[in-house]
Amino acid sequence: MTQRVVTLAHYYTQPEIQQMADKVGDSLELSLFAREAEADIIVFAGVRFMAETAKILNPNATVILPDAGSTCSLVTQTDVGALKAWRESYPDHVHVSYINSSAEHKALSDWIVTSRNVDDIIGHLYEQGQKVIFSPDRNMGAYLNYQYGYDMPLWSAVCEVHDKFNEAALNEALGAVNGEAYLIAHPESPLPVLKRADYVGSTSGMLNWVKQFSGNPEAVIFVATEDGILYNMGLARPDLDLRQAPIYAGCQCNSCPYMKMNTIEAVKRAQQGIGLEIDYLTPAQMDAARVPIERMLDFSQRYYA
């Protein structure tokens, strides 16, 4: 019997990879899609924590990551033993973790969030009078503390791509524009950049902001996130002057090396069943990690339905 192969691609993969996919999206959209996918094989053109999330949500499918090296610095900078000790030092707090985390990390969490729903989920917990700790992204946590006046203790890991955006280079680029200029940014960027931004949001949030832009058509829009999304923004609004935000003068190098390991050859091989199969998580590990992920998905389906 022929195997049903479903290919998922994150917005940060190259355009050619997105064109090979059955579904392109941000991490929340791809998790929801993976959960419902009627597939024997799910090829996840993204990074490892995303493929692990797909396996946890759809354990009967064979999930393949095209390149075993596709990790994420938020995962590699987090020692799970140290995280456990940190979590235990706040016994009366709710532990909220960003989806960019390993399965073991998720299992130590009460809630998982993505950049799309993090504001709403943490807002909901504060409304209930809960105390919250947030891991692993300290830039995202610092932004939430600043934006909403929270006092969440933060774990300290960063996205090695977004953390390179800096205020001075952005001010220089914005100042060099002769006319109107906007900055939109992903919350993995450093706080001074986020404070300066006209819009802060997830990958899909930024894409929607661009799609709906109704301001001056001559304006320059700087985009502070991974460069893959510029392809989708350009397709949606070819009329706009969209530019990759600079990291420092003369450099446009904010490309995620792990996302870009999803080459055409690697994805084609994965569609034949060759790649890193996510078969190393035990049922107990998957069950423990599924609880906070499902909590997030149920919340998202109720709030964004």
Binding site residues, ligand 13P, CB under 6 A: 26-27, 100, 114-115, 159, 188, 202-203, 226
Q: Nearest approach, Cβ of 159 to ligand SF4 (angstroms)? A: 3
109 binds, among ligand 13P, ligand SF4, none (CB under 5 to 8 A by kind): none
Residues written for the chain:
305
Report the SS3 class of residue 95. Answer: strand
Of positions 34, 47, 206, 242, contacts ligand SF4 by CB under 6 A: 47
Report the SS3 class of residue 200. Answer: strand
Note whether 113 binds ligand SF4 by CB under 6 A. no
Alpha-carbon distance values, 181 to 135, 218, 243, 246 (Å): 33, 9, 10, 14
Q: Nearest approach, Cβ of 2 to ligand 13P (angstroms)? A: 31
What is the maximum span of the chain, computed from C-alpha positions, in angstroms? 62
Note whether 30 binds ligand SF4 by CB under 6 A. no
- Specify the residue, 114 or 271, whose C-beta has the smaller distance to ligand SF4: 114
End-to-end Cα, the chain, rounded Å = 36
CB-CB neighbours of 208 under 10 Å: 14
Q: How far apart are CA 278 and CA 172, in angstroms?
A: 44
> Is residue 259 within 8 Å of residue 226, measured between CB atoms?
yes
73 binds, among ligand SF4, ligand 13P, none (CB under 5 to 8 A by kind): ligand SF4
Of positions 51, 63, 161, 297, contacts ligand SF4 by CB under 6 A: 161
Please list every residue from 69 through 88 that binds ligand SF4, using CB under 6 A. Answer: 72-74
Chain residues in the site for ligand SF4 (CB under 6 A) = 47, 72-74, 100, 159-162, 188, 226, 256, 258-259
